[in-house]
Structure 1
Amino acid sequence: MSLPPSDASPSGFDGGQTPASAHQVEAFVFSGRGSEYFRIWIVNLLLSIITLGIYSAWAKVRRTRYFYDNTTINGSSFEYHGNPIAILKGRIIAVILIGGYQIAFKFSLGLGVLALALMLAGMPWLIWKSYQFKLYNSSYRGIRFGFRGSAGRSYFNYLLLPLLAGITLWLALPFAHQRIKKYLHQESKFGATHFSFDASVGSFYKTYLIGAGVALLGYIAIMITFSSTLAALGAGLQHGGAAVISSAGLLFLSLYAWTFLIMPLFLTMIQNLIWNHTKLGQHQFQSQLKWSKTAFIMITNLIGIVITLGLFAPFAHVRWFKYRIESVTLLAAGSLDNFVADEEAQGSVAGEGISDLLDFDLSL
């Protein structure tokens, strides 16, 4: 999804702005449970393995429908209409496209590079079509979502902007991120009503700088705390022996732990920034994700998955999804019954297959 305009800081530390009294607050609610989703997940996994991946298209539909059916706002849930046969065809095409360049490399480096270049050149078009497919197959109260866009703008956002970010040593990454999100949200619609997005490039740079600044301060503090260990390592471990090795282990563990804590901070700030600057017609969204709770959920999810050798994964998915979706509210400027349907083309199943294989997050 995308989010509404807010005068609050994009940092996400306090969750955002208090809604105006003129709006009716409509909360998103997720009623799914980890135990329910575990049964769907384990059956999907086993059948996908047995069928050598063929069932994965049906698994995707079952999984998506479960999360849509259990996500409600104003008493109504979302619906997913994706056809597993269409998704399977898309995945077959995607496997051929992705596998083709890998096979080409075995014949010659030049042929492989050419095949890779052709695949990457077609990727923005496939992403554009995948947006259309995903949104068209999502609905609320019988009205479908949609995506306009164009091939030209998709190439600008998904080919030229990533190249620009790389050429500038990622200094242009916040700019590219803002443009991509603006493209996605402004071109999306619900029925005949369009979304809008007004987060500035400056707000994205501010968010990135806050995240980088907090990360840097943490790394400096850790380095100062372990300064004696670093000095001993620099001297070649002539003094201290096992004690220095143990301290060095704690140093690297601290660096890794701090890096892991920074991820929830950035995710929190970005979600709040994006949602708090997106509207659907005159209806605003608001996100109140908290860094502390995001970090707690992510850390405990990781521990649970490791301890259970992966079996906790569906429970982790439900916990994270529930917190993210229920952190968002809709500040309705009027009745949610006044939307008008507007049919759109379904888009490309090949794009849907590519997005799944490359793990793009394209849905509202």
Structure 2
Amino acid sequence: MSAVFESAVPAAPREERIEFTATGSEYFRIWIVNLLLTIVTLGIYSAWAKVRRNQYFYASTRLAGSSFEYHGKPLAILRGRVVGVVLLGSYQLALRYHPPTAGIVLILIAGLMPWLIWKSLQFALHNSSYRGVRFGFRGSWKGAYLHYLGLPLLSGLTLGLLYPFVHQRVKRFQHSESRFGATHFAFDAPVGKFYKAYGVLVLLLVLGSAVAIAIVAALAGGFSALNGGNTDILVRAGQTLVVFVGFFGWYAYLLCVLWAFMAVLQNLIWNHTQLGPHRFRSTMKWTSLAGLYITNTLAIICTLGLFIPFAHVRALKYRLESTTLVVAGSLDDVVAAKGSDVNSVGESVADLAGIDLAL
């Protein structure tokens, strides 16, 4: 009787940290072949390159002893990219040969983008699986137009004052409309926390800029005051040096603030995301993120770009391994749900347009 009672007691929540086992040397071999074949085939191979890259990264991402899988097909992605090239190529041609028409084409593309983003989310999640169970996206095209066209236009009319609200609503749409099998994700981050994050960002940028301008002005004025004992050339050289150093100092400060903001946003978003009874926990630190980006940038410059795949792996590893799933019960208690196949046009066009749709 006691054994039956003990089995009925729910297991205590446990943490399952995401592991990323990819290495820079392994990915470098994939990356260099993808790059060369994409160049030789005038971009046609890029669809196959994306599948190879995603399959490697998905297989290298493990949670609770199991890895993820990517099921996207190169030909499906290629067809989508052809559509993307036609759309963006039409805009470039119109801009060059008949600018008034370019405005019309741009409006048409903007009108299509919410639909393309919607199809992209469907395609990306449908072609991702874990333990044989597929992900999915249940959001409607009407919801996509509201969140990716209507709300951004409203934010523009308010001169950006509604942007934190729009950001929160977009993330809520992306996360709460996603599912794993038949289990849906949930997102409960309040709008107020988004406004707080953006408010601190703006405050730090304004204060940092004001301090930088004040320091540069004071130092430049100091050089001018010393004009009596120096030539005009030396004074101008000193002022130029002060402006140069001040600019790079301000730029370094700006990067640190942006890295801190990225860490705050990742933690805010994932600490308020839930999959059924399971919750996510993100512990990204801006100091670690800053060190990562600084070393990656220096290494890429010193190697003339050859460090790019290594930098990509390092960045992904830190971002993924900063995330933990707090499991309540069993991850196997998920019912697989059947979903209709979706096309890849949206994902491919979004890639060409430089839109990051990663959840």
TM-score (ref. length: structure 1): 0.90
2:343 corresponds to:
348
Q: Work out whether 1:180 is the aligned partner of 2:170.
A: yes
Q: Compared with structure 1, are the counterparts of its residues 153 and 231 closer, same or farther at alpha carbon in structure 2 (3 Å cutoff)?
A: farther
CA deviation profile, 1:309-344 (whole Å, cap 9, x unmatched): 111111111111000100000000110111111122
Q: Work out whether 1:56 is the aligned partner of 2:46.
A: yes
Cα distance in structure 2, aligned partners of 1:49 and 1:181: 35
Aligned length, in residue pairs: 343
Q: Compared with structure 1, are the counterparts of its residues 233 and 270 closer, same or farther at alpha carbon in structure 2 (3 Å cutoff)?
A: farther
1:362 corresponds to:
357
Which of 303, 320, 325 lines up with 1:330 in the alignment?
A: 325
2:250 corresponds to:
255
CA deviation profile, 1:275-322 (whole Å, cap 9, x unmatched): 000000110000000010000001111111111111111111111100
Q: Work out whether 1:75 is the aligned partner of 2:65.
A: yes
Asked whether the 8 Å contact 1:232–1:240 carries over to 2, the reply is no
Q: Which one has a larger percent helix, Structure 1 or Structure 2? A: 2
1:47 corresponds to:
37
Which of 244, 257, 267 lines up with 1:272 in the alignment?
A: 267
Asked whether the 8 Å contact 1:30–1:325 carries over to 2, the reply is yes
Asked whether the 8 Å contact 2:69–2:128 carries over to 1, the reply is yes
Q: List runs of 5+ in structure 2 lacking aligned partners.
A: 1-10
Asked whether the 8 Å contact 1:135–1:363 carries over to 2, the reply is no
Name whichever of 312-321 and 113-122 sits farther off: 113-122
- SS of structure 2 residue aligned to 1:336: coil
2:314 corresponds to:
319
Cα distance in structure 1, aligned partners of 2:224 and 2:195: 36
- Which residue type is aligned with residue 317 of structure 1? H
Name whichever of 162-171 and 118-127 sits farther off: 162-171
TM-score (ref. length: structure 2): 0.91
- SS of structure 1 residue aligned to 2:306: coil
Q: Work out whether 1:108 is the aligned partner of 2:98.
A: yes
CA deviation profile, 1:221-276 (whole Å, cap 9, x unmatched): 333433423546999x9682211111111111111111111221111000000000
Name whichever of 40-49 and 256-265 sits farther off: 256-265
Cα distance in structure 2, aligned partners of 1:209 and 1:262: 12
- Which residue type is aligned with residue 50 of structure 2? K
Identity fraction in percent: 51
Name whichever of 180-189 and 102-111 sits farther off: 102-111
Query: Which residues in structure 2 correspond to 1:24-35 (within 5 Å)?
Result: 24-35=14-25
Asked whether the 8 Å contact 1:178–1:199 carries over to 2, the reply is yes
Query: Which residues in structure 2 correspond to 1:186-205 (within 5 Å)?
Result: 186-205=176-195
Q: Compared with structure 1, are the counterparts of its residues 252 and 81 closer, same or farther at alpha carbon in structure 2 (3 Å cutoff)?
A: same
Name whichever of 157-166 and 87-96 sits farther off: 157-166
2:239 corresponds to:
244
Asked whether the 8 Å contact 2:12–2:329 carries over to 1, the reply is no
Q: List runs of 5+ in structure 1 lacking aligned partners.
A: 1-20
Query: Which residues in structure 2 correspond to 1:9-24 (within 5 Å)?
Result: 22-24=12-14
* Higher CA-based Rg: 2
Cα distance in structure 2, aligned partners of 1:363 and 1:233: 50
1:220 corresponds to:
210
Q: Compared with structure 1, are the counterparts of its residues 246 and 350 closer, same or farther at alpha carbon in structure 2 (3 Å cutoff)?
A: same
Cα distance in structure 1, aligned partners of 2:172 and 2:339: 20
1:206 corresponds to:
196
Query: Which residues in structure 2 correspond to 1:151-170 (within 5 Å)?
Result: 151-170=141-160
Which of 115, 126, 129 lines up with 2:116 in the alignment?
A: 126
- SS of structure 1 residue aligned to 2:235: coil
Cα distance in structure 2, aligned partners of 1:169 and 1:347: 36
Cα distance in structure 1, aligned partners of 2:107 and 2:220: 45
